[in-house]
């Protein structure tokens, strides 16, 4: 089983960016958590981060016929990017959306996510542990409904 974890704008600034909202753990801590969780569960993982919408779209397109599932934290692009939504729809790979903060408890404009209209699960407000939940959720889902792509 192979999954792609995509992180959008400013996720690379974890630990520095608004620690009262996002915590003090760094992006390196997040990458280590994802890698550790996947290793324990025999999941091959690729982790990608970009602050650029087009790069995220290109990465999603490159996942076609290469990964079994996508976990995406689109960050602010959740609320603005129909392009990322369309990219996810075009590759038709099972997708889980993750947000470190609880977007429903934040500013009004953050309460709608284009990505959640496609993702079969949205995890919001669990901090970095939301990624662990997303990994386990997508693993269980893929084991039930899809033959892994090698």
Q: Is 77 a catalytic residue?
A: no
Catalytic residue among 22, 27, 77, 114: 22
User: CA torsion, points 118, 112, 85, 80, in degrees to nearest 10?
Assistant: 180
Catalytic residue among 27, 77, 99, 114: 99
Q: Is 114 a catalytic residue?
A: no
Which residues carry out catalysis? 22, 99
């Amino acid at each position: 089983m192979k999954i792609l974890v995509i992180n959008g704008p400013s996720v690379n600034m974890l630990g520095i960016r608004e620690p009262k909202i996002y915590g003090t753990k760094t992006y390196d801590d997040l990458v280590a958590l994802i890698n550790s969780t996947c290793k324990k569960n025999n999941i091959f993982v690729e982790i990608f981060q970009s602050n650029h919408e087009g790069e995220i779209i290109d990465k999603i397109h490159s996942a076609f016929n290469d990964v079994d599932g996508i976990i995406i934290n689109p960050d602010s692009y959740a609320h603005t990017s129909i392009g990322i939504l369309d990219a996810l729809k075009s590759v038709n790979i099972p997708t889980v959306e993750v947000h470190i903060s609880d977007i429903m408890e934040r500013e009004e404009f953050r309460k709608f996510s284009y990505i959640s209209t496609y993702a079969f699960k949205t995890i919001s407000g669990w901090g970095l542990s939301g990624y662990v939940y997303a990994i386990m959720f997508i693993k269980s889902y893929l084991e039930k409904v899809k033959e892994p792509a090698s």
